[in-house]
Structure 1
Amino acid sequence: MRSMTENEAAPSDRSVPPAPGADRYLALDFANSDLALPGGRSLDLLGTPEAATRWLIERGLASDDARLQEVCARRLRDLREQVGALIATRIDALPAPPEALRAVNDALTRAPAASLLAWDRTQGLHRAQAHPADQVADHALAVLAADAADLLTSPDADLLAACGSPPCRRYLLRTHGRRHWCSVRCGDRARAARAYARRTATP
């Protein structure tokens, strides 16, 4: 599968509607950030440091002046793979992979959980989460890992499903317990594939 580079005229993540549930769980949006596109192409929204930085900024996980290096972007991609593995095994009712559990728990412990007491002239005394510029990745990883843990241990975990329209590899929360497509586009493609299979089936 050919991956699109930053210089190609590729659709952004904003041109692809979020999968059901991704607006409620950032971890689901995170797991879905490696997109399969028509024509055998793919678009990795964390594929470069610039793309990963933009993804974090757009989701409020980094300030506008943040700049990730490749080592941090790779850590995000690695955690995404492990979160995806946990979601996949939860859908299939399989044991959670130990390496995925370790990766999520490691990310959970990398950033301070408590909001610190701070003061400035505008707000006076207030609580603020401390994540200086050199800890942007740690903070983002901790937030994403916590959200993944919340999703996977919530009643919503029973609604997790993989999109049923290959080659899409996104996950979703089923609506009304029925939907297995992440978007109208994927639903249309699946219905078209079934119709074609019926037309060409050997009697």
Structure 2
Amino acid sequence: MSDALTAEPAPPPAPGAEDYLALDFVNTVIARPAGQLIDLLGTPTATNRWLSERGLAPADAGLQEMCATQLRSLREHIRALFVAHVSGLPALPAALSAVNDALSRAPTAALLYWDEKTGPYRAIPCPTNEILDRALATLAANAADLLTGPDAERLTACGSAPCRRYLLRHGRRHWCSVRCGDRARAARAYARRTRPNAD
């Protein structure tokens, strides 16, 4: 998809996306009512922008199409796990394998460093050639945390077709945005008006 499509304003983050980066990640494909899909990771430039805005890559990382493709692939595997969880179905082995592969790509232990002015500190090293691996591992770990943590039971798909986004349910809310809620209510009202009388 072109940068023009990916530059279109995205809806606000779905409920829970502020707490779970994996939820925000899965929601980077946006379905418009006319059937158009907008992919916020559709190009290497858009992917780099999305990652840098979330602190997963420097703004000048210069990701290539191969990197963007790997991220989009992981996104679809995490989406498949969300679908399985929400639907109460078994997880696809390929999706589990992809997430576990991403989890094992980057070391998790913060190393000890020493700054001559400020003294000791710990940081996880991230050489330039490991930016993608670190981003994949971070996103996979966050998805695993969501699926195995206390918020897993609140994970749900947006209840407004054709939306494909996921959210953490709060009370009775089953929509990712006000726009989707309005669309679902309008569709229900239209269905009631056009339903033939049972008399």
Relative to the length of structure 1, the TM-score reads: 0.92
Q: Which residue of 2 aligns with 1:11?
A: 8
Deviation at 1:101, TM superposition (A): 0.6
The CA distance in 2 between the partners of 1:138 and 1:11, in whole Å, is: 28
What residue ranges of structure 1 are gaps of 5+ in the alignment?
Answer: none
Of 131, 135, 142 in structure 2, the residue corresponding to residue 136 of structure 1 is 131
Tell me whether 1:22 sits opposite 2:25 in the alignment. Answer: no
SS in 1 for 2:179: helix
Q: Tell me if the contact between 2:78 and 2:143 (Cα under 8 Å) persists in the aligned partners.
A: yes
Aligned CA-pair RMSD: 1.4
Q: Tell me if the contact between 2:103 and 2:138 (Cα under 8 Å) persists in the aligned partners.
A: yes
Identity of aligned residues (%): 62
SS in 1 for 2:151: helix
Q: Which residue of 2 aligns with 1:84?
A: 79
Of 88, 95, 99 in structure 2, the residue corresponding to residue 100 of structure 1 is 95
The CA distance in 2 between the partners of 1:155 and 1:50, in whole Å, is: 35
Q: Which residue of 1 aligns with 2:178?
A: 184
Moved over 6 A (4+): none
Distance 1:122 1:18, change over 3 A: farther
Tell me whether 1:201 sits opposite 2:198 in the alignment. Answer: no
What residue ranges of structure 2 are gaps of 5+ in the alignment?
Answer: none
Deviation at 1:122, TM superposition (A): 4.6
Tell me whether 1:161 sits opposite 2:156 in the alignment. Answer: yes
* 1:156-177 CA distance string (max 9 Å, x none): 110111001011000011002x
Relative to the length of structure 2, the TM-score reads: 0.94
Distance 1:122 1:55, change over 3 A: farther
Deviation at 1:82, TM superposition (A): 0.5
Distance 1:9 1:29, change over 3 A: closer
Aligned length: 197
